[in-house]
Amino acid sequence: MIYFAPLFDGPHFTSEEYMFHVKVFLFGRFSVLQNDDELKCFASAKARELFCYLLLHRDRFHCREVVASLLWSDCGESQSRKYFRQTLWQLQQALQVFSPNGSVRGLHVEGDSLKLDADAGFWLDIAQFERAFAPVRGIGGERVNGEQAAALRNAVALYRGDLLEGSFQDWCLYHRERFQNMYISMLDKLMEYCESRREYESGLSYGERLLGLDAARERTYCKLMRLHYFAGDRSGALRQFQRCSAALGEELGVKPSKRTMELHEQIRTDGLKEPGFPQAEKAPPIGEAAPSTTLLPRLKRIRAILMNLQHRVERDIREVDRALANQVSEPPSGRN
């Protein structure tokens, strides 16, 4: 296997990335940089394709036959195996260029399986991109904290273009769409984050990037309308509505939704309220412990259970009292 420094595992992309001997870029045009100089290390397009495929499925073993049939789907089994052996040798030669001592470490070939380690020692743009997105997946931008927002800003800066531009294999198209959806989600969250922090200019720039991907994205126009209005540019907000109406009509043949129309009316009549800053948690008084956010719900559930149990006990006591009273009031039966 190939070994250099461990793959950078943090959410930020600072000067630490320069510790890496090699950087690999899959967004936009594929490129490999060694000390910021581009390397031409792949002897064939197939060797480069195999490298990219293994990077996108790193840390998982792959069957040789499956990969061979995927890369040479128009060839027979014996021919695809032959091409695979040649391409694997070319990949090993390329990876030797990455290593300062010419060793081949990081690529595992075991019998009929192979994989490329995620910590093979080179900086990888898609790895940083995925790490930045993972902590904020499924949460709104207004709930993103400052550290996560910084990671997202750096991640969207890495998106130099769609994944592996110029490649049109089925496996590549799937991942290209996956990363583009992640990129769109990141921009959405950053717009919401900027609005909640009143960073309106930055939010507007992220919105324009989104419209560059989809000119008829109605929800983006709504966010741009809000950002313009809160920045004090009501006319700019109203122009965004006009852009939205024109784009929807031209591309989809529809009019803006009721919600968008209501937002437009609020802006036109100066009736849109500005969002407040996120509320910081209040510190408890000196000497008083802060309640645990995980303990309180549990205590409330226990209290509800105990109250329910108390009500049941009181009900049972009443029923026993009534039964005893009935026994006392009834005369004893006589014997014959």
Query: What residue ranges define each of the domains in the chain, with the CATH number in brackets?
Result: 15-125 (1.10.10.10), 214-273 (no CATH)
The number of helix segments (H) and strand segments (E) in the chain equals 11, 7
Looking at residue 287, what is its pLDDT? 44
pLDDT (tens digit, 0 to 9) for every residue of the chain, 336 residues total? 333 333 333 334 444 444 567 899 999 999 999 888 898 889 999 999 999 999 999 878 999 999 999 999 899 999 999 999 999 999 988 888 776 555 555 788 888 999 987 666 789 999 999 999 999 999 999 999 999 999 999 999 999 999 999 999 989 999 999 999 999 999 999 999 999 999 999 999 999 999 999 999 999 999 999 999 999 999 999 999 999 999 999 999 999 999 999 999 999 999 998 765 554 344 444 444 444 444 565 565 566 666 666 666 666 676 667 666 666 555 555 544
Q: What's at 160, amino acid-wise?
A: R
Q: DSSP letter string over 38-68?
A: E----SSHHHHHHHHHHHHTTTS-EEHHHHH
Q: How many CA atoms lie within 13 A of 23 on its CB side?
A: 16
The per-residue pLDDT for 117 is: 77
Backbone angles phi, psi at 242, to 5 degrees: -65, -40
Q: For the residues of 302-336, what is the DSSP string, one character each?
A: HHHHHHHHHHHHHHHHHHHHHHHHHHHHSPPPPP-
pLDDT in the model for residue 331: 58
Q: Which residues have C-beta within 8 Å of that of residue 334, sequence separation ≥ 6? A: none
The distance of Cα 271 from the centroid of its chain, to the nearest Å, equals: 34
Contacts of 18 (CB under 8 A, 6+ apart): none
Which residues does residue 34 pair with via DSSP β-bridges, in sequence order?
22, 37
pTM: 0.75
CA-CA-CA-CA dihedral for 185, 189, 194, 195, to nearest 10 = 110
* pLDDT given for residue 109 in this prediction: 86
pLDDT of residue 8: 34
Does residue 163 contact residue 24 with C-beta atoms inside 8 Å? no
